[in-house]
Amino acid sequence: MRSGRSRLGSWSWSRPAPVRGSASSTQFCAPLPLGGARVTIWTYGGELPGREIWVRRGDLLRVRLDNALPQPTTVHWHGLALRNDMDGVPGLTQPEVAPGATFDYAFAVPDAGTFWFHQHVGAQLDRGLYAPLIVEDPDEPGDYDRELVVVFDDWLDGTGRDPDQVLTELLANGMGGMDMGSGAAAMTMPRSDLLGGDAGNVTYPYFLANGRTADAAHTLEVRPGQRIRLRMINASADTAFRVGVPGTAMTVTHTDGFPVVPTRVEAVLLGMGERVDAVVEVPDAVMPLLGLAEGKDGVTQVLLRAGPGAAPDVVAAAVALRGSPVTPVGDLSATESMGLPDREPDVVQPMTLGGPEPGYTWTINGRTYDPAAGVPVREGQRVRLRFENPTSMFHPMHLHGHTFQVRGAGGVGPRKDTAIVFPRQALEVDFDADNAGQWLTHCHNVYHGEAGMMTVVSYVDS
Ligand code: C2O
Ligand code: CU
């Protein structure tokens, strides 16, 4: 076993790293408009986001979950092609971990990249139970000086209503009646051309980057001219983020952990569960990395500070990102060595997304989640999933335990584990069935998933 490192020090994985899910009183980092109020939130280890785990490709990762929450929970390692019994899906790959109980996760980490982990019970992901998992590649040259992990999130827990209550209300009342008041930072671009008029079901009072609102932004001190690799993760429940540095192009190098042909972008759209790595050069100034809540009324940021001076006004700066953002499924392509070898699929599986009906039910192929009625695949097959989205909302569809190849409009798309299927569009993805087990596949809108939009890719014996 190797040792991992984190921004907060080093520890060895020869003993399980403690991940303590707990309800703790944490300073909510927003002097305005929350006035520094203390709210009780659920986190891993008392930090928001939870402390980053850094390992190297091929490491054996051991983590002990110590459940100090008042509800059962599990941990899912999003994006990793790990062994099935460590995948953290309650009732499918493991029993729920009861309050007061522990569970030891231990698995080999096969691929390098930007991953993350989060709970997988009910609406808990819309609390603070998430953290980055960064897998370094010892062989990657890496054309950058520093790295910064940035986690975007939509936030309402502790502000008058918790995610369980939101889910209960959605299930009872449908999509209406979710208005929670106006956003904290007034924006002028609430409608999204990409997502249509219906960019989410929940109105959030706050949008966070690394656990902070825009007016209390996390700041990284850098030297002028340094090249920063941004590892960006969207941990939101119901919000896509448009991310970018106003006035400066970023070079996207990876999505969902896997390398893409380097692509210069002004802004990129990140659906829930998606990740993008991009390199940006910081001049002698204060440079904001903005996250605009796509189609909603809000913005958050982290600051890269290479010189003195005040940060630009966040709302004014956001105007520079008005153009159409790049989307990972539409505009990125896998590097040659990362594409799946050419092969005709052995099976083409339709995945028709439906909802909401009658009130707030979301379906795949006409049914809500039923682990006994999954999508059968056989080991060794090349499988094509054909997502059809006749609904008026976008759905970031995630497959556990595999990385698929998006079939791009013009040829090879990126390798991903989470891909937005835009409203009234279709998307095809291919993967090799090389990791036997029962693998959840679902919409990463937490409320859609909990309202039924999940199924299982189920390995069966030939
Ligand atoms: Cu991050 Cu089942 O997902
Ligand atoms: Cu959805």
pTM: 0.92
Which atom of ligand 1 lies at the shortest distance from residue 125's CA?
Answer: 1
Determine which residue's CA is closest to atom 3 belonging to ligand 1. 78
Confidence of residue 34 (pLDDT cuts 50, 70, 90): very low
What's residue 400's pLDDT?
A: 98
What's residue 2's pLDDT?
A: 32
Between 93 and 359, residue with greater pLDDT: 93
Length of the chain: 462
For the beta carbon of residue 17, count every other beta carbon within 10 angstroms. 18
Which atom of ligand 1 lies at the shortest distance from residue 120's CA?
Answer: 2
Containing 54, the helix (H) or strand (E) segment is strand 53-56
* CA 87 to centroid of ligand 1, rounded, Å: 9
Confirm if 353 and 421 have CB atoms less than 8 A apart: yes
* CA 382 to centroid of ligand 2, rounded, Å: 25
Which atom of ligand 1 lies at the shortest distance from residue 400's CA?
Answer: 2
* CA 394 to centroid of ligand 2, rounded, Å: 6
Which bound ligand lies closest to the C-alpha atom of 235? 1
3-state per-residue secondary structure call for 251-313: EEEEECCEEEEEEEECCEEECCCCEEEEEEECCCCEEEEEEEECCCCCEEEEEEECCCCCCCC
Which residues make up the environment of ion ligand 2, defined by Cβ < 5 Å? 395, 443, 445, 448
Which bound ligand lies closest to the C-alpha atom of 275? 1
* Residue 59 DSSP class: P
Domain ranges across the chain: 3-140, 149-156+202-331, 336-459
Would the CATH topology of 3-140 be identical to that of 149-156+202-331? yes
Which atom of ligand 1 lies at the shortest distance from residue 442's CA?
Answer: 2
Distance CA 72, CA 23 (A): 13
What's residue 20's pLDDT?
A: 64
Which atom of ligand 1 lies at the shortest distance from residue 78's CA?
Answer: 1
What's residue 314's pLDDT?
A: 92
Share of the chain above pLDDT 70, in %: 88
What's residue 224's pLDDT?
A: 95
Task: Tell me the pLDDT of the chain averaged across its residues.
Answer: 88
Helix, strand or coil, per DSSP, at residue 1: coil
Helix, strand or coil, per DSSP, at residue 50: coil
* CA 120 to centroid of ligand 1, rounded, Å: 7
- Pairing between strand 382-389 and 425-432? antiparallel
Q: What mean pLDDT is predicted for residues 331-342? A: 91
Give 120-143 pLDDT, tens digit per residue.
Answer: 999 999 999 999 999 999 888 888
* Residue 134 DSSP class: E
Confirm if 263 and 280 have CB atoms less than 8 A apart: no
Which bound ligand lies closest to the C-alpha atom of 397? 2
Q: What mean pLDDT is predicted for residues 38-64? A: 88
> Residues 6 or more apart from 230 whose CB is under 8 A from it?
147, 148, 150, 250, 277, 278, 279, 280, 289
What's residue 45's pLDDT?
A: 85
Per-residue pLDDT for 9 more than 60? no
* CA 396 to centroid of ligand 2, rounded, Å: 6
Distance CA 362, CA 369 (A): 9
What's residue 411's pLDDT?
A: 80
What's residue 189's pLDDT?
A: 53
Per-residue pLDDT for 192 more than 70? yes
Q: What mean pLDDT is predicted for residues 359-369? A: 96
Which atom of ligand 1 lies at the shortest distance from residue 273's CA?
Answer: 1
* CA 81 to centroid of ligand 1, rounded, Å: 13
3-state per-residue secondary structure call for 427-447: EEEEEECCCCCEEEEEECCHH
Share of the chain above pLDDT 90, in %: 75
Q: What are phi and psi of 167, to 5 degrees?
A: -60, -45
For the beta carbon of residue 458, count every other beta carbon within 10 angstroms. 16
Q: What is the CA 146 to chain-centroid distance, rounded?
A: 22
* CA 125 to centroid of ligand 1, rounded, Å: 9
Which bound ligand lies closest to the C-alpha atom of 421? 2
Q: What mean pLDDT is predicted for residues 184-207? A: 77
What's residue 216's pLDDT?
A: 87
Confirm if 454 and 396 have CB atoms less than 8 A apart: no
Give 392-439 pLDDT, tens digit per residue.
Answer: 999 999 999 999 999 987 788 999 999 999 999 999 999 999 999 999
Per-residue pLDDT for 336 more than 60? yes
Please determine, looking at this structure, whether the domain spanning 149-156+202-331 carries the CATH number 2.70.98.50: no
Closest CA to 276 of 286, 287, 291: 291
Q: What mean pLDDT is predicted for residues 344-356? A: 97
What's residue 410's pLDDT?
A: 73
Per-residue pLDDT for 6 more than 90? no
Between 116 and 308, residue with greater pLDDT: 116
Confirm if 278 and 268 have CB atoms less than 8 A apart: yes
What's residue 326's pLDDT?
A: 96
What's residue 182's pLDDT?
A: 42
Please determine, looking at this structure, whether the domain spanning 3-140 carries the CATH number 1.25.40.10: no
What's residue 11's pLDDT?
A: 29
Per-residue pLDDT for 3 more than 80? no
Assigned token pair, 186: 């007034």
E strand residue ranges, 83-234: 102-108, 113-119, 130-136, 146-155, 206-209, 218-221, 227-234
Ligand 1 binding residues, C-beta < 6 A: 76, 78, 118, 120, 273, 398, 400, 440, 442, 444
What's residue 21's pLDDT?
A: 61
Per-residue pLDDT for 288 more than 50? yes
What's residue 337's pLDDT?
A: 87
What's residue 440's pLDDT?
A: 98
* CA 314 to centroid of ligand 1, rounded, Å: 31
Which bound ligand lies closest to the C-alpha atom of 88? 1
Determine which residue's CA is closest to atom 1 belonging to ligand 1. 78
Distance CA 67, CA 88 (A): 14
Confidence of residue 42 (pLDDT cuts 50, 70, 90): confident
Domain at 336-459: CATH architecture: Sandwich (2.60)
> Residues 6 or more apart from 436 whose CB is under 8 A from it?
84, 379, 459
Residue with token string 């980057």: 209
What's residue 143's pLDDT?
A: 86
* CA 64 to centroid of ligand 2, rounded, Å: 31
Q: What mean pLDDT is predicted for residues 18-42? A: 53
What's residue 29's pLDDT?
A: 40
Per-residue pLDDT for 203 more than 80? yes
Distance CA 121, CA 21 (A): 13
Residue 53 β-bridge partners: 133
